[in-house]
A and B are shown apart, each in its own frame.
Chain A
Amino acid sequence: MNPPVIVNQLTKTFYDDSRGEVVAVNQISFACQAGQIFGLLGANGAGKTTTLRMLATILKPTGGTATLMGFDVSHQPEEVRRHLGFSSATTALYPRLTARETLEFFARINGCPPATVNERVNALISRFGIRDYADARVDRLSQGMKQKVAIARTVAHDPPVLIFDEPTVGLDVLNALEMQKVIAGFRDEGKTILFSTHIMSEAEKLCDRIAIVDQGRIHACDTLANLRLATGLRYLEDIFVHYIERARTTETR
């Protein structure tokens, strides 16, 4: 069986009035397996978000291909999105819908059969413990409650692939830990998970495979154990710096 997510030579170039062409993502290739968490690790502006946005079909690639569950992101964007749950710090919830309405809306719009929508929404509500405030408007919920609703809406249509773009940014320690637990839970259900972060401990703890991204390129992509072996370093932080410095020095030469 083919891996659920295959990225091949994916490239994104922007045109900017004052700077001309800017290459944000430069021929990135990788693949993710079902039941695994694939982590993109990089500094701000390294190209992680752009890559994930291309996979979510928000942005169109300017080169290369990517497939998700066998669907091409450029040519079958609707199919891709139907098999995908995407969550990031910038994907907000509608403030004027109730939690239940939110879940209902996202289940329907992602193609859940109408007959099963109710059942699915109820299942989500009990699974994520939203029952108490399921009928309150989202704008009246606290940060932690909103986060639960946001996760629930990401998986409202039970997608096989999940993308989390820096999901713990702006969360406190407890909420962040909760988030990590939920993500790990999804992996155990057999979902394919793409995950980006710039927090080393998070990557260390969660990811089955780690890709180190800088300036639009992947400089290393392997399991944590293999990365340690290859560099001889213990901490992910050091491994990360090692790769990035190596890449930058070769470039300047």
Chain B
Amino acid sequence: MRLNLSILATLFRTELRMVLRDRRIIVAAILLPLLILPLMFFGSNWSMKQRERKVQSMAGSYAVTGSRAAEVRELLSRAHERALAKGQTNGLFEEITVTNAVAALNAGEIQVIVEGLNAQEAREKEAANKPPTASSKAAQKPDRSGDKVRRDEKHLPLVDSLVIRLTGRNDRDDSTGTIARLRTALEETRLAARRELLKAANFPVPLEELGTIKQVDLASQGQVAGLALGRMMTLLLLLFVLTGGTVVATDLLAGEKERGTLETLLTTGAGRLEIVLAKHLTVLTVGMLIAFIQSANLLVYIGFKLVPVPGSLAAAVSPWTAALLLALFLPVAALAASVLLLVSGKARTYKEAQLLFFPVFLIGLAPALAPLMPGLTLKSAIALAPVAGIAVAIKEILIGHFDWAMITVTWFATALPAVWLTRISVRFLSAEHLITAADPDVAQLGGGPAMFQQHVWRWFAVMWALLLMLGNYLEKADLRLQLFVNLVGIFLGASTLMLRFYRLNPREALALRLPRPAVWLGTLIAVPGGIISAVGLFQLASLVFPVPSRLLEAFNQSVLPDTIPFWQLLFFLSLMPGVLEEIAFRGMLLHGLRNRMHPALLALVVGMVFGLFHGTLFRFAPTACLGVMLAAVVLLTGSILPAMLWHCLNNALGVLAAHHEIPLTEFDAAGYLTGAGMLVLGFWIIWRHRTAYPELRLRRSERYGGQRKT
């Protein structure tokens, strides 16, 4: 496609003109954020200041109890005098005499109980493991007190020394505030007492000069401000571009479709590329414009000290730096514009586009959080990650240490996907079912299997939430019960429901077919190879991008209770998940998504979802890795049975290794090579004897052909 610049210019001018004429766009994209942002800052700032002021000035009252109350009173009165001597007038506290200190505390008459105890007494009370002042309220309920006794100092109290116990209620701000102030006052008093002691003992050096620690900060004020700014800058700018861009992008494609003007445009002499480019430029322009306005807005508030930034901002951002930052941010904004246009192009109506934008927001902002990661420098794999790399680069530039080569690399790492996505948008304009108005969906009329494909995501979302919620209640239950509920209740239960609800053929949906005999052999060979290769892959990745050791440990993580017999462990941890998890993920999920995406992407998605169901972050990577391999096997053989075998064996090996306490996290080079070799060999055998999963979507051309005539 040749690009006609004069047509492009005409289109761009007109698009921009129309955007600027739409009052709603202006209001939603520019005016509202412009008003909301300062209000948000002002609000949170105000309440923060209020909080500080309140905590400072809150009148605290306390009761003194315990066997050594007199000493405590004496200490507190000295603290009080010191405060008065310093001219402090508010934020003081006073003693109140009460008969029942605990009741008074619970009733809010006092904020703190100050108890003077012997070290011996304190220890005895602790040993009883029951708060000495257990409230009647707490005694009625089988409800332990929130905290055990917490000691702050590193050394145990000496035998006959005084222990001051501050008892409060952490669910009340006045109580926690008073405790904090009492503590400071007491500690200051102690320091003063120690100084006196040293003087009395004729110590040659005052306390302050013993073992001093000085901090020498190499960073300039500008660099410190740069760090604070650099952490959040990309995120904020991207947020502005996305909020503004969304409104415009929705109007430019989905809105045009709805109004019917897109068809008019498509019958003119302008090419699809020119149309998309003009729209892209419009979104980009408006997005950048909003980012500019908002940045200026933000600067004003920093100027008014509504937004605290440590150090001097002016030192951090010179005009030259600002220009560089702009150049760096441009591909990010371009990528955002591409994604927004793509989503808008995928939608057929305004409403549909809005639904689609929601996940884009959540996912799109995540990479901009990269600069929050400590110790992450651009000289790592992150430079290749779109947006994340730029975000880190922006931070490094603001700090003042950066590397031109890596910045160039990361610039392209973000710019190229932007170009690529724009090209896909162009293709969307040729996708027939997306251009023209929506037709009734036949699947919706008939229900059944076709409907299942549309609903499969919902089912798995509900299953995921159920798993999370049930996990809450079964946390302390027997491992066997937990597994039974999860595997039989959720995975098998939901799968059965889906089969019945959508009248699916179980043999087809679950891919219950016999593969060729050689596949079994391939599976047997690939299983150990898969475990070793996955570990190796992450070891390799950790060379470039530091992987936390917990991630690698997670490969080996299976906490096996000693109380369960070994054969039961094998049954519950290997056989049951091997069969039931396969039914849910490689059966139902894979079947539901089979012709929605390219098989390679399909394997990846099924694997990721599988990983997501394993809860914590550190379990995600290893399980997702396994999930991808399992999905690949099912796609290649058209049968779920080898995957079940693989899954069972994989888990069994894990159980065995844990049972005999063999670590599976580190192997030598030969081990990795053998493992990788076995995996490749196994997959090669499976590939040679493949019988592909039916109804896969293989050709791209079919992907856009889902239109019926109008």
Contacts and interface: CB of A to CB of B under 8 A. Distances in A.
Q: Do A and B come from one complex?
A: yes
A47 interface: yes
B269 A109 contact: yes
Contact of B10 (A18, A49, A59, A109): A109
A110 B706 contact: no
Contact of B263 (A14, A22, A58, A97): A58
Contacts of A137: 21
A96 B22 contact: yes
Contacts of B264: 86, 91-93, 153
Interface in B430-458: 430, 432, 435-437, 441-443, 446, 450, 453
Contacts of B22: 96
Nearest to B710: A49
Given A81-B267, A94-B18, A114-B6, A14 B707 contact: yes
Nearest to A19: B442
A17 interface: yes
Nearest to B707: A14
B708 A22 contact: yes
B435 to A, nearest CB: 7
B679 interface: no
Contacts of B10: 105, 108-109
Question: Most chain-A Cβ atoms within 10 A of its Cβ — which of B269, B270, B437, B708?
Answer: B269
A82 interface: yes
Contacts of A18: 441-443, 446, 450
Contact-size category for A: 35 or more
Q: Which of A45, A58, A110 has the most CB of B within 10 A?
A: A58
A49 B709 contact: yes
A227 interface: no
B14 A101 contact: yes
A22 B442 CA distance: 13
Contact of B269 (A81, A90, A114): A81
B263 A24 contact: no
A90 B257 CA distance: 10
Contacts of B269: 78, 81-82, 109-111, 157
A14 B706 CA distance: 6
B705 interface: yes
Contact of B430 (A60, A88, A94, A97): A60
B593 to A, nearest CB: 13
Contacts of B705: 14-15
Interface in A1-55: 12, 14-19, 22, 24, 45, 47, 49-50
A58 B267 contact: yes
A106 interface: yes
B261 interface: yes
Nearest to B278: A109
A81 B268 CA distance: 5
Contacts of B263: 58, 88, 90-92
A47 to B, nearest CB: 7
Contact of B261 (A50, A86, A93): A93
A111 B435 CA distance: 24
Contacts of A88: 263
B450 A17 contact: yes
Nearest to B10: A108
B702 interface: yes
Interface in B117-163: none
A84 interface: yes
Interface in B1-18: 6-7, 10-11, 14, 17-18
A22 to B, nearest CB: 6
Contacts of A105: 10, 14
Contact of B702 (A15, A84, A93): A15
Contacts of A22: 708-709
B17 A45 contact: no
A56 interface: yes
B260 A92 contact: yes
Contacts of B266: 56-58
B503 interface: no
Interface string B676-710: 00000000000000000000000000100111111
A90 B268 contact: no
A144 interface: no
A60 B266 CA distance: 12
A213 to B, nearest CB: 12
B18 A96 contact: yes
A95 interface: yes
A16 B708 contact: yes
A17 B453 contact: yes
A121 to B, nearest CB: 13
A111 B705 CA distance: 31
Interface string B247-279: 000000000000111011011111100000000
A17 B707 CA distance: 9
Contact of A90 (B11, B21, B436, B441): B436
A84 B264 CA distance: 12
B432 A90 contact: no
A48 B532 CA distance: 61
Interface string A98-125: 0001000110111100100000000000
A14 B432 contact: yes
Given A92-B261, A109-B7, A86 B708 contact: no
B260 A91 contact: yes
Please indicate which of the listed interface residues A16, A24, A110 has the most CB atoms of chain B within 10 Å of its own CB: A16
B454 to A, nearest CB: 9
B595 interface: yes
A108 B446 CA distance: 48
Given A17-B595, A97-B18, A109-B270, A50 B450 contact: no
Interface in B67-89: none
A148 to B, nearest CB: 15
Contacts of B446: 18
A61 B443 CA distance: 26
Interface string B344-376: 000000000000000000000000000000000
Interface string A51-84: 0000011111000000000000000011001101
A163 B453 CA distance: 39
A36 to B, nearest CB: 21
Contacts of B271: 77-78
Contacts of A15: 702, 705-706
B430 to A, nearest CB: 7
A17 B18 contact: no
Interface string A142-159: 000000000001000100
A59 B709 CA distance: 11
Contacts of A24: 708-709
Given A58-B435, A109-B269, A16 B706 contact: yes
Question: Looking at A18, A24, A97, A101, which has the most chain B CB atoms within 10 Å of its CB?
Answer: A18
Contacts of B270: 78, 81, 109
Nearest to B267: A86
Interface string B12-42: 0010011001100000000000000000000
B17 A109 contact: no
Contacts of B436: 58, 90
Interface of A: 12, 14-19, 22, 24, 45, 47, 49-50, 56-60, 77-78, 81-82, 84, 86, 88, 90-97, 101, 105-106, 108-111, 114, 137, 153, 157
Given A81-B268, A110-B269, A157-B269, 11 more contacts: A16-B707, A17-B453, A24-B709, A45-B709, A57-B266, A90-B437, A91-B261, A92-B264, A95-B259, A106-B268, A153-B264
Give the top 6 A-B pairs by smallest Cβ distance, nearest first. A92-B260, A86-B267, A15-B705, A24-B709, A91-B264, A82-B269
6 contacts: A16-B708, A18-B446, A24-B708, A58-B263, A60-B432, A93-B264
Interface of B: 6-7, 10-11, 14, 17-18, 21-22, 259-261, 263-264, 266-271, 430, 432, 435-437, 441-443, 446, 450, 453, 595, 702, 705-710
